[in-house]
Amino acid sequence: MDNHPKVSVVMPVYNAERFLEDAIGSVLQQNYSPLQLIVVDDGSTDGTGEIARRFEEVCYLRQENAGPSAARNKGIAAADGAILAFLDSDDRWTPDKLACQIGHMMQHPEHLFTIAKFRYFLEPGCPIPSSFKPELLERELVGRIPSTLVARRAAFETVGEFDTSLRTGEDVDWFARAKDLEVPMAVIPKVLLHKRVHDQNASADAAANTPLLMKVLQQSIRRQKARQEQARREGGENHG
């Protein structure tokens, strides 16, 4: 078994010039190799493309604006690594992030993906968004979010790609599908991601996000009921 498989890091970006260099730097400073960094520009109108192209290590792709799901899926299609990882353009990894998660996966081949803990940090000079709970800044949290996700390709073959009909909540949907399918995974009990809180966080718009999250939850409930019904039918047939 290859204990150092190539990892492809997919970074979806949209008007990300403010924090992009920091995010890219945190990938290039990983104490793990080999890696491929794919930045997928989702139709930015600012200097995002110029910043990404400064880095010769970056594979820069651009598409018409279609949302983060489409951008991540485009990156997955272009990736040539055996392992896939993701980072949002306003977050940053610890230097040992990939080494920790891939090391675990090499020791546990049954796990199709891992996630890790993260901590929020407030961008200097930015007020705390009204929808954000300040006490979260003091906690270590388990990150069922793309920026902690490190996955074998088999995870996406099993779960599917990100749902392009969702402009937000697409990560909740993917992890819900993985849970409903009982995909083997692990949580690395270490903070490997620092998630930035600032005045442009898409996830901070609770009023807009709530209906979409409810839709994702309802879809999950329907999947679980369908699986239970299928198991009941198969159990009846086996006893017939």
Query: Distance between CA atoms of 31 and 100, rounded to whole angstroms?
Result: 10
Q: Which two tokens stand for residue 48?
A: 């995002």
CATH code of 77's domain: 3.90.550.10
* pLDDT confidence of residue 204: 47
Q: Compute the CA torsion angle 144, 146, 150, 155 (nearest 10 deg).
A: 80
Residue 50 lies in a domain: yes
Residue 228 lies in a domain: no
pLDDT digits (tens, 9 = 90+) for 32-91: 999 999 999 999 999 999 999 999 999 999 999 999 999 999 999 999 999 999 999 999
pLDDT < 70 positions in the chain = 1, 201-217, 220-221, 223-224, 226, 228, 231, 236-240
Q: Are strands 91-93 and 185-197 parallel, antiparallel or unpaired?
A: antiparallel
- Could you list the residue range(s) of the whole structural domain that residue 58 is in? 7-205
Q: Are 59 and 48 in contact (CB under 8 A)?
A: no
Question: Total structural domains in the chain?
Answer: 1
DSSP H or E segment with residue 139: none
* Residues near 54 by beta carbon (within 8 Å), at least 6 away in sequence: none
Residue 45 lies in a domain: yes
Residue 34 lies in a domain: yes
| Mean predicted lDDT score pLDDT of the chain | 90
Nearest residue to 22 (alpha-carbon basis) of 102, 116, 117, 121: 121
Q: What is the pTM of this model?
A: 0.86
Q: Are 89 and 22 in contact (CB under 8 A)?
A: no
Residue 85 lies in a domain: yes
Residue 229 lies in a domain: no
Query: Distance between CA atoms of 11 and 24, rounded to whole angstroms?
Result: 9
Cβ-count burial 140-175 (b if 16+ within 10 Å, e if not): eeebbbbbbbbbbeebbebbebbbeebbbbbbbbbb
Residue 211 lies in a domain: no
Residue 217 lies in a domain: no
* pLDDT confidence of residue 238: 64
Q: Looking up tokens 């690594």, which residue turns up?
A: 81
* pLDDT confidence of residue 191: 98
Nearest residue to 58 (alpha-carbon basis) of 67, 49, 66: 49
